[in-house]
Amino acid sequence: MTTPDDLEQRHTLSTATTRYDELRMRDALATMAGDGESEPLSPEEGLELLALSEVVIRKAGYGRQAMVRSARAAGASWTQIGAALGTSKQAAWEAHNRWIADQARQHELTGYQGLGPDEADAARGLAGRPD
């Protein structure tokens, strides 16, 4: 069975969204046509589409937090970051710090993924406190 973890290792954000769009479009066309001639998704492809949606969410979320780090490194305040994300500075800061903690836990579990202890400390230092 196709899982998000399997697909996440095989796809970049770009390739995952491309494959997701291909399957989604085929599914939509088959549903709209209703003529029995358009090929509907197989059960495996339906599950792949579902798993790909999770991969896209994960990768976009990771990219979002990487951009938050870039904004902080460039001198942006948490108020500015919150505004760019459409949320409060406190919510943006809390989400980023949860991400750092999750990345540190991932490194502890795998020994290579996520943020190592020094990287996590540096990320926490860059995050600072909400202004």
Q: Do 1 and 32 fall within a single domain?
A: yes
Radius of gyration of the chain (CA): 19
- For residue 68, is it within any domain? no
- For residue 70, is it within any domain? no
- pTM for the whole thing? 0.69
- For residue 42, is it within any domain? yes
Please give the residue range of the domain that contains residue 96.
76-131
Residue 36: per-residue pLDDT: 62
Number of domains in the chain: 2
- For residue 9, is it within any domain? yes
- For residue 69, is it within any domain? no
Q: Do 2 and 52 fall within a single domain?
A: yes
Contact present, 80 and 70 (Cβ < 8 Å): no
User: What tens-digit pLDDT sequence spans the chain (131 residues)?
Assistant: 789 999 998 999 999 999 999 999 999 998 887 656 678 899 999 999 999 999 999 899 888 999 999 999 999 999 999 999 999 999 999 999 999 999 999 999 988 888 999 999 999 999 999 87
Q: Do 107 and 81 fall within a single domain?
A: yes
- For residue 59, is it within any domain? yes
Q: How many CB atoms lie within 10 A of CB 96?
A: 23
Question: For residue 103, what are the contacts with CB-CB under 8 A and spacing of at least 6?
Answer: 114, 115, 119, 120, 123
Q: Do 9 and 45 fall within a single domain?
A: yes
Q: How many residues would you count in the chain?
A: 131
- For residue 83, is it within any domain? yes
Residue 2: per-residue pLDDT: 86
Q: Which of 40, 63, 86 is the last residue of a domain?
A: 63
